[in-house]
Structure 1
Amino acid sequence: MPENCTNNVCETPVFERVYKQHSKDLHDFLYYKYGAQFNPKDKVQEAFIKLWDNCKQVSLDNAKSFLFTVANNLTLNEIKHQKVVLKYKQNKPKHYTKETPEFILEQEQFLEKYKKVLSSLSEDQRVAFLLSKAEGKKHSEIAELLGVTKKVVEYRIYSAFKILKTELEGFKLK
């Protein structure tokens, strides 16, 4: 192609020519420098996409330099990201709490007692109570789900709460 024809990388034939001239060399450069684990084919494609996005700012003379710089930087960014991921994986969270063993034991005992009292409730009370307190549903939503009135739902929740309060010491509900 004669030199006086065009020097604009944004034109499709010129871009195709740049791709054919430099894609294999760019791939080989990345492959030999960093290895296959960083996907040199993907980096080549991303570099050419960036060239296409910035084709008005990059002249034909600077296209090769632009491509190699962009591809190299993309690979270095991925390496840096992999180091952060590896460092994060190596940091194991601490598996200790500030609670005393007595507190943990009391908590487990309370939970067992709570489950026992909850199972002793009638099914209607238990369902209404759990829908309200565990799932956070409003009384009107529970009434619609169960096919009863809102007052019936309120009574079931109140009676379940009253039983739980008498059976469990220190039972408070928000």
Structure 2
Amino acid sequence: MPDKDPNLCQEKAFSSFYTEHLQAASNFAFYKCGDSASALDLVQEAFSKLWENCASVDVLKAKTYLFTSINNLFLNTIRHHKVVMNYAKERPYLDRDNQDPEYLLREEEFKSQLLKAIDELSDAQKEVFLLNRIEGKKYREIAELLDVSQKTVEKHMSAALKTLRTKFGNI
């Protein structure tokens, strides 16, 4: 190739860069988010962003740009998730104004007691419980994320549920 530093805007150069860095980028994204579908979305978005900005990205810094983009996209996803969760906490029901005030009061009291009970769980139990029941992750995913065995996750979840059932009855 006569040009030492090919331009990423050239389809052949970009394709070569893509092939060379796809697996590492996918592994990095999976490490960040722990979900292969989300990781694939992050990688695709980052490569798309690199392609859109290929003229302004130095080919020698393209790998750094790619991984920084993946990291920033992941952080943006987390920020967005926090906003959605905060909104859901503040307005869990759109028609709450039409509900019985006594029911709303009991619901708030129960929610407060439940949050307190969850907070009193051990750190490991709390983390496993929240990842499973709030974020919807499977035991296998939690085990990979926390770098423990699936049996350990099951043990923590069982202990957390036992503690909560003792306080609240059958959940």
TM-score of the two chains, using structure 2 as the length reference: 0.51
Structure 1 residue aligned with 2:13? 14
**AA aligned opposite 2:97:** H
**AA aligned opposite 1:39:** S
Q: For residue 4 of structure 1, report the CA deviation from its aligned partner.
A: 3.5
Structure 2 residue aligned with 1:74? 73
Number of equivalences: 96
- CA distance in 2 between counterparts of 1:67 and 1:21 reads 12
Given that residues 7 and 59 in structure 1 are in contact (C-alpha distance below 8 angstroms), is that contact kept between their aligned partners in structure 2?
A: no
Larger Rg: 1
Alignment of 1:45-124 (within 5 A): 45-92=44-91, 95=97
> Runs ≥4 in structure 1, deviation > 6 angstroms?
none
1:37 and 1:90, CA in 2 relative to 1: closer, same or farther beyond 3 A? farther
1:42 and 1:68, CA in 2 relative to 1: closer, same or farther beyond 3 A? same
1:76 and 1:37, CA in 2 relative to 1: closer, same or farther beyond 3 A? farther
Query: CA RMSD, aligned part only?
Result: 2.2
Given that residues 9 and 56 in structure 1 are in contact (C-alpha distance below 8 angstroms), is that contact kept between their aligned partners in structure 2?
A: yes
Q: Aligned residues: percent identity?
A: 39
1:3 and 1:87, CA in 2 relative to 1: closer, same or farther beyond 3 A? farther
Given that residues 51 and 67 in structure 1 are in contact (C-alpha distance below 8 angstroms), is that contact kept between their aligned partners in structure 2?
A: yes
**AA aligned opposite 2:85:** L
TM-score of the two chains, using structure 1 as the length reference: 0.50
Q: For residue 60 of structure 1, report the CA deviation from its aligned partner.
A: 1.1
Q: For residue 75 of structure 1, report the CA deviation from its aligned partner.
A: 1.0
Aligned residue for 2:55, secondary structure, equals coil
Q: For residue 95 of structure 1, report the CA deviation from its aligned partner.
A: 3.3
**AA aligned opposite 1:23:** L
Residues 125-159 of structure 1: per-residue CA shift (max 9 Å, x gap): xxxxxxxxxxxxxxxxxxxxxxxxxxxxxxxxxxx
Structure 1 residues without counterparts, runs of 5 or longer: 97-174
Aligned residue for 1:56, secondary structure, equals helix
Structure 2 residue aligned with 1:44? 43
Q: For residue 33 of structure 1, report the CA deviation from its aligned partner.
A: 2.1
